[in-house]
Amino acid sequence: MKYWLLKSEPDTFGIDHLAALPDQQAPWDGVRNYQARNFLRDELKAGDQAFFYHSSCKVPGIAGIVDISANGQPEKAASQPESPLYDEKHSEETPRWFEVQVKLKTRFAQVIPLQALKQDSALSDMALLNRSRLSVQPVSAEEWQHILANYPH
DNA sequence: GCCAACGTTGGC
DNA sequence: GCCAACGTTGGC
């Protein structure tokens, strides 16, 4: 089982939105970057876990943990003309975009701020701190455990 | 295949 | 709101 980090803008879809859903589960869709798409399509697997990261907001940082509850599938919204995610070059038969299902595991009482992670030499190789604009990215087991063990949440 | 123009991400 | 980083598009 692997660990990941998923970015979302809390004004659009934050951890509180996920928590408010009846089954606290949702498709992780709208990813329109090919490297991130490849992770969704090929690498994220049911049983994996991911940090839910809040970007483009007052305090960017890790807001909680989700379980990946289904492997990558063709993105449904991209097939629906009425959806803002609609892409005419995408179809279920020849998919361009993919989604996984995520289910809320833990909503942190306090966000672990990006600002703190940036100052941690143990995390200097983290993709979050070195790969700008990648909205789906791997987290090593060491990084995952280090963050949970060393930052109040 | 190169590269300039352009658009998006995301921290500050 | 600004701007750095960087991915995408399209002319040539």
Q: What is the pTM of this model?
A: 0.95
Q: Within window 123-152 on A, which residues have Cβ closer than 7 Å to strand C?
A: 131-133
H or E element in which residue A79 lies:
none
Per-residue pLDDT of chain A (153 residues; tens, 9 = 90+): 999 999 999 999 999 999 999 999 999 999 999 999 999 999 999 999 999 999 999 999 999 999 999 999 999 999 998 888 988 888 888 899 999 999 999 999 999 999 999 999 999 999 999 999 999 999 999 999 999 999 999
Closest CA to the C1' of B9: that residue is: A133
The alpha carbon dihedral of A79, A12, A46, A44 has a sign of positive
The pLDDT value given to residue A89: 86
Q: Closest nucleotide (CA of A35 to C1')?
A: C7
State which amino acid sits at residue A21.
Answer: L
Q: Is the CB of A58 under 7 A from strand C?
A: no
Question: How distant, in Å, are the alpha carbons of A51, A76, A77, A79, A80 from that of A84?
Answer: 25, 12, 8, 10, 9
